[in-house]
Amino acid sequence: MTETRRCIVIPAIKKNAVIPDQLVKKLAGTTLIQRAIDVAHGVVPAQDVIVVTDSQEIGLICERNGVRFHYNAGLRFTSLDIIAEMQSILKELGSSYENIIIYRASCPLLTWVDIDDAYHRFLEDEADCLVTVKSVRHRIWEVRQGRLESLLSEDESELVVESKALIILRAEALKTGRIHRTIPYFLNDRAMEINGYQDWWLCERLLTRRHVVFVVAGYPAIGMGHVFRSLMLAHEIAHHKITFICTKESELAASSIAARDYKTCIQKNELWQDVLALKPDLVVNDMLDTSSDYMQHLVDAHIPVVNFEDEGPGSHLANLVVNALYENGNLQSEETASRHVLYGHKYFCLRDEFLQATQNTFRKDPQCILITFGGTDMPDYTRQTLDVVEPVCRERGIAIRVVTGPGYAHRERLANHIKKLDNPLIRFEYATNIMSRMMEGVDLAICSAGRTVYELAHMRIPGIVLAQHEREARHTFARARNGFVYMGIMRDFNAPRLTRVFGQLMNEPERRQRLYQRQCRIRFDRNKTQVIGRILKLLEK
């Protein structure tokens, strides 16, 4: 399609500024007028940009940028009708251009892509005029004699409000004074206008935010620990733009993340291609060991990278590796380890809900136990463990809390099983968002060797730990020195052994107390601040 000739007019009247000298003050490192000229340059050549101003200073900026300007020291807009205010200038331009775009510098979130897209919409609809708008939901009231009376309906109404960002005009309609067809162009989030200092501050925060892409894996074979950690980190840096990419097999992770209203997509091409297509400023990989090929593509694109739980061949290319679940590494030197790899539980990040939870005190006679095996529990250790402990707990009047994750595939079967047991002291929770509450008041836990053991240690709950596979067996934090009885890898569920260990802990309070006391020495409360600080430092660079 051959484009119709167009120009961009930028009103820059200092007398109409709501903040003193706002057009020549720097917002996120660039003045408003310079930012507007740069955006306009992305749409039309410099000779087709015209700035209308009452300021010699702005005229000088235009001259140095090679754009035309119309200077009149007496200019001042007295109404909201900008077409009427600039009528003579617009009509003059109408003799040279078929279409005129009026673009205001007070909407700094607008991009040249928005202007170009709006212009093509204007052409396709064969409109006389296009106006940028935003939709808002409000209840509209009218004040009568000092009282509020509903003007419209009792319900919220969706209104369309004009944004001062863009107006596009057909020059012929301007000449004849007959604008028959006006169409809207919705900007919404990017329609923010600077009408005061608060708007200025918000725009600066939005313009300086960076794009962080989380690459996450989460499916039954590896569990959901990566998802939970990535969501926690994303919550901490929410003032930046966040996007999640889930690996091809991670549909379970994608659905869980999307439920938190984060922009989420599933890998379609080579993973590095999908990541680079998002133009990230920082990539956080939480998907186990990375490959050299994948990491090299990110390095070649000069993107800083943070990896979690990564001892793969690509880990040496990352700017920062956080291996909190591995107590020691296989790196060649202490110097290398201290430079970019953080090992051990002192880098484990607790969710805020645990930092605000009440830690447990030791009770000689247990009153409540917890059974939880992470986000998936493919072999269904949950039900098998319940069968081991339920008779003992029933006899002693001990409550049982059973908690499963969002990837637990045996939910219906377990619910029916608990119903048949007919034990009022059993409480079953599926995919809870308040795990800390489930741990409050618990005296002993039986769990897998993932993130849960760190949360139990913080809550001061001794535990019996069953590793579900070789990878979990390498999480050596879950040992007696930290308050846990480790039973090794349970390739086949060993009910007699679990019965024996559970009975020992129930019948030997001194043993449980020793485990409890060891947990009292462990602190996680400052770890997250430290790790987030390292990530933000990379982002700032």
402 burial via Cβ count (<10 Å: 0-12, 13-18, 19+): buried
d(CA 216, CA 225): 10
Question: Over the chain, what is the mean pLDDT?
Answer: 92
Is the per-residue pLDDT at 394 higher than 50?
yes
At 399-445, the pLDDT tens digits run 999 999 999 999 999 999 999 999 999 999 999 989 999 999 999 99
User: Are 6 and 70 contacting, i.e. CB atoms less than 8 angstroms apart?
Assistant: no
Ordered structural domains, the chain, with CATH: 6-207 (3.90.550.10), 209-349+530-540 (3.40.50.11190), 356-519 (3.40.50.2000)
- Token pair for 183: 């169409």
d(CA 485, CA 497): 12
Average pLDDT over residues 29-37: 97
At 468-511, the pLDDT tens digits run 888 889 999 999 999 999 999 988 899 999 999 999 999 999 99
**Least confident stretch, 133-147, 403-417, 455-469:** 133-147
State the pLDDT confidence band at 4, using cuts at 50, 70 and 90: low
At 357-389, the pLDDT tens digits run 999 999 999 999 999 998 899 999 999 999 999
d(CA 392, CA 480): 24
Average pLDDT over residues 96-115: 95
* DSSP secondary structure letters along 123-139: HHTT-SEEEEEEEEEE-
Q: What is the distance of C-alpha 156 from the center of its chain?
A: 29
* DSSP secondary structure letters along 142-201: EEETTEEEESS-SS-EEEEEEEEEEEEEEHHHHHHT----EEEEE-GGGG----SHHHHH
d(CA 193, CA 166): 11
**Least confident stretch, 165-174, 287-296, 331-340:** 331-340
d(CA 499, CA 12): 79
Three-point CA angle 142, 147, 149, nearest 5°: 40
At 7-28, the pLDDT tens digits run 999 999 999 999 999 999 999 9
What are the angstrom distances between the C-alpha of 110 and each of 62, 103, 419?
A: 20, 9, 58
What are the angstrom distances between the C-alpha of 287 and each of 67, 168, 284, 309?
A: 50, 47, 9, 8
Is the per-residue pLDDT at 335 higher than 70?
no
Is the per-residue pLDDT at 2 higher than 80?
no
Is the per-residue pLDDT at 333 higher than 50?
no
What are the angstrom distances between the C-alpha of 68 and each of 46, 49, 51, 170, 405?
A: 8, 6, 6, 21, 63
| Residue at token pair 């939480």 | 286
pTM: 0.80
Which one of 152-156, 211-215, 333-337 scores highest in mean pLDDT? 211-215
Residues in the chain: 541
Could you tell me which residue, 329 or 151, shows the higher pLDDT? 151
| Residue at token pair 């250790």 | 381
b/e string for 445-455 if b means 16 or more Cβ within 10 A? Answer: bbbbbbbbbbb
Average pLDDT over residues 105-131: 95
